[in-house]
A and B are shown apart, each in its own frame.
Chain A
């Protein structure tokens, strides 16, 4: 049903910066949207005094801030706090809040490794490549959990490779791909590695190259050339794909924004 939702307050003059992504928040509705769609990125530190002060001083929502502060003082769990924030600003309907709760509960039931991987995947999807890599790398130093799906660690390396490609670190991307293949070899992954090799001009290790049958190589190369003719592998996959469908002026703007995003992500990752 169509409706108009009255904004709970004017836009903030001084926005609130979300530490996980560097995103600036100007209203209670934006905060609600961020929580609802990005809860993978949110941990206990998210609901903090700085956030309450922002609600009070910038959005003039002292009553809401007081309520949330009290709830945190009572040591409510993160899920309860997030739901309380969402309820406070009435941006989502009851049905949407129920859906959120179900998703959130399902997410929390997963093991720590799965949650971590999901967070990194989310960062990758939203263009925060360095931040995603930092999380993927953490799996290098932990003991492998055999209860996880058998392609779990392969996907970690594979996604890491995609992050490297977006950052233009092609040699590192190839190493990540090879590590993924080592974790769990498959024809699909081999095809990806082969096509990446074509794109990056980085030679495949000979033993891997020998594993590709000539007829498969021919088909994969044909496919690669077709994709390449349409604008390149990078342009047709991943979150940047939409940029290449825009006109030249908008493409330039989108690319500029994309680069800004990478810079911001980098600054955040090294800080």
Chain B
């Protein structure tokens, strides 16, 4: 048992078509995948409501119930949430977010019943960080009684980072890569370490590859040959002129890659370590949860930069108790969708607000000027403003400037300026 660890640390890989779950096993001191049945390490992200009963099934059980005509099924839950959609089941309309909440509740109940322990920390990992989805997911989980501090949402690329950095250091001496083939398509992730800075920067990025690769193609012999050709082309293109130390193959489609991807494997396995790993992202999420729950047990001495992480420091130069200092509002490596910065200051002979943006690994900040011409004219040093920063996506910063006036001496008109900029 990890000291101080009371409940389960769960990694929840939530995709539109499938769900994988992993938990931290204290005895093995490792992240282990949850099997939903013998040899079944994933379930479809599908929910089914029993007819005339307030009974819900998820995954394969949901599909079975629907096939038997005993219930009404809803799939592609994440897409529905992103669209802000709804589904009508037996004359009642459910918001997509409500259905997602029920789905997560049922999935967690299964896990808790199996391990007879409550959830201490819940880390979701998703393939695309969409603001609407993240807000909906967070609201759903909070409605289930989990506090904001217990829950985290990270990207697959970040999960990969956390997973990789628990492996032998040889595996990430140079570039490390993941090919993920599932119903979501073929995805490629890449990670490397910038060692010339202190702390070192671990960065990862991922993208869906353009080839219209689906699992259906593997059904026929001709399709498997075509799949091998496509995959080989992808490998050649991605690895071109790169030194790749290790490659991880994950996803349902990769389970039988030795049958259909002989040529591709030949390329991949050339002078590098290759691993077949199911539930990689769920396990990475578990490691992230362990690191956050007990930093003494698992250390990640890196600035983590991946999809979902801020790529630059955002700050201001400011007079603090009479001395000019740099004030950090947002730090490179923080998660963009939860990072918020706020500061109140007084304008002294200013016609703009200058933000200092320092890209990770760089020392020289770039100045982003924000015009404030709309603020009311007042004597110098009698305009107090609140500046709030938040990201609307990984590279897009929203700055909100609220005029607070100067008490009764120079009351505020309540003016709020909103500026958006790309970093």
Contact = CB atoms under 8 A, between A and B. Distances in A.
Contacts of B324: 3
B366 to A, nearest CB: 18
A33 B381 contact: yes
16 contacts: A2-B351, A3-B318, A3-B349, A4-B317, A4-B318, A4-B345, A5-B381, A8-B321, A10-B344, A25-B407, A29-B406, A30-B406, A33-B406, A90-B319, A91-B346, A93-B322
A7 interface: yes
A27 interface: yes
A1 B319 CA distance: 12
B348 A2 contact: yes
Max count, chain B CB within 10 A of own CB: residue among A2, A10, A90 = A2
Interface string B62-90: 00000000000000000000000000000
Nearest to B344: A7
Given A27-B384, A90-B322, A91-B381, A2 B349 contact: yes
A267 to B, nearest CB: 16
Interface of B: 316-322, 324, 327, 343-351, 353, 381-382, 384, 404, 406-409
Interface in A17-56: 23-27, 29-30, 33-34
Given A2-B351, A26-B408, A33-B406, 5 more contacts: A4-B345, A5-B345, A25-B408, A26-B407, A29-B381
Contact of B350 (A4, A11, A23, A93): A4
Interface of A: 1-8, 10-11, 15, 23-27, 29-30, 33-34, 90-91, 93
A1 B408 contact: no
A7 B345 contact: yes
B50 to A, nearest CB: 52
A90 B316 contact: no
B346 A7 contact: yes
Contacts of A34: 409
Given A23-B409, A30-B407, A90-B321, A5 B348 contact: yes
A239 to B, nearest CB: 15
A259 B317 CA distance: 43
A3 B407 contact: no
Contacts of A15: 407
Contacts of A25: 407-408
Contacts of A27: 384, 407
A263 to B, nearest CB: 15
Contacts of B319: 3-6, 90
Contacts of B320: 6
A10 B342 CA distance: 12
Contact of B345 (A6, A26, A33, A90): A6
A270 B169 CA distance: 81
Nearest to B322: A90
Contact of B409 (A10, A30, A91): A30
Pick from A4, A10, A15, A25 the residue with the most CB of B within 10 Å: A4
